[in-house]
Structure 1
Amino acid sequence: MTIQTISPAEAKVLVAKGAALIDIRERDEYARENIAEAHLLSLSAIENGDRLGPFDPFDTVIFYCQSGMRTAQNAQKLADAVAPAKVLLIEGGLTAWKKDGQEILADKSQPLPLMRQVQIAAGTLILAGVILGFAIHPGFFLLSGFVGAGLLFAGISGFCGMARLLAIMPWNKR
């Protein structure tokens, strides 16, 4: 089964005609910015068995994520979550929606999404380790190696200690 992608403008027209628009990003991403007409049903919730609906075969459901990658990679899983409805994906996701000049709801008082915080923290620690390793003592290169090993472990195991640590920081408390 091939699942079609559509442009943000086409999605806007279909939503105005009654199509359901579903954001599959995580709650922290959705809280920071989203499309006003969208419902949140994160990919992790779908993987845990959550569903919206019921849908009929003549219903249209449009999914989006940040860049379109998550929706494309999980298209069949998304289709199964709203079966038997017709499924469409917004090509380029929320990024394309904004680039197309479509309106979004943004709450910049919300913290950055957790994965972006991890990227910022890891990048800062690696860069600091390299700079300090050259400028002060080669032992600081171990900091970069430690962070790199942590990222490798997180990728393999699915457990990210840095994300867990950042999640309990005061700025991430809701």
Structure 2
Amino acid sequence: MNVTTMSPKQLHDLVQSGQSVELIDVRTPVEYREVHVDFARNVPLDQLNATELASGRNGSAPLYVICRSGSRGKQACEKFLAAGYTNVVNVEGGTQAWDQAGLPVVRGQKAISLERQVRIAAGLLVLVGSVLGAFVSPYWIGLSAFVGAGLTFAGITDTCGMGMILARMPWNQVPKAPTVGTPSSGAACAPKSSCCG
């Protein structure tokens, strides 16, 4: 599928021109809480129902998608395209590029990125498999081989099963606090609004 892209600067200029923009951030709630574009709304990729989100929208209005560096955003765009929503745009380089460009962000509590969590988990599993394979039973080497095969698959397909599992872990969730005046799931936040923080 061909996914349309836009640079963070182009999107920022669009917002500054007064155009209404709906930006969906598909990272985990913890990643979103750490740093996010000031007008982005968080809908994690593993909870994204593209058909439901697309159905309540004006089909001609573009929907912008952002993640950490662009990969999950592309996957979300592909979900929207598969659901029949054609006017969807992925923000190139994600929140990382937006922040590096010096554009406005909301900063919160620091967290370990999902990418780092995958590297830590994969490294530990390979280490454990190697140690147990050397000292307990050679069959434990299979654990290291399994992780290696999974990482190879993730690199080829740009889909990480371990990342999807880690995204659902309790430490990657943010407790839902009751809020007053929060927009409904179909509403877009205005630029520089604090309602999506």
TM-score band, normalised by shorter chain: 0.5 to 0.7
Where in structure 1 do 4 or more consecutive aligned residues deviate above 6 Å? Answer: 140-145, 153-156
Q: Give the share of equivalent positions with the same residue, in percent.
A: 25
Partners in 1 of 2:129 and 2:94 — Cα distance?
A: 35
3-state secondary structure, aligned to 2:116: helix
3-state secondary structure, aligned to 2:48: helix
Q: TM-score, normalised by structure 1?
A: 0.66
Q: TM-score, normalised by structure 2?
A: 0.60
Displacement of 1:7: 0.9
Equivalent runs, 1:14-33 vs 2, <5 Å: 14-16=14-16, 17-33=19-35
Q: CA contact under 8 A between 1:55 and 1:83: conserved in structure 2? A: no
Aligned amino acid, residue 14 of structure 1: L
Partners in 1 of 2:170 and 2:88 — Cα distance?
A: 36
Change (3 A) 1:167 1:5: closer
Q: CA contact under 8 A between 2:7 and 2:92: conserved in structure 1? A: yes
Unaligned runs of 5+ in 1: none
Change (3 A) 1:2 1:115: closer
Q: Which residue of 1 aligns with 2:63?
A: 61
Partners in 2 of 1:172 and 1:56 — Cα distance?
A: 31
Aligned amino acid, residue 44 of structure 2: S
Equivalent runs, 1:31-110 vs 2, <5 Å: 31-47=33-49, 50-51=52-53, 54-79=56-81, 83=85, 86-109=87-110
Partners in 2 of 1:152 and 1:115 — Cα distance?
A: 17
Q: RMSD over aligned Cα, in angstroms?
A: 4.1
Unaligned runs of 5+ in 2: 155-160, 176-197
Alignment size in residue pairs: 164
Q: Which structure has greater helix proportion?
A: 1
Displacement of 1:120: 2.0
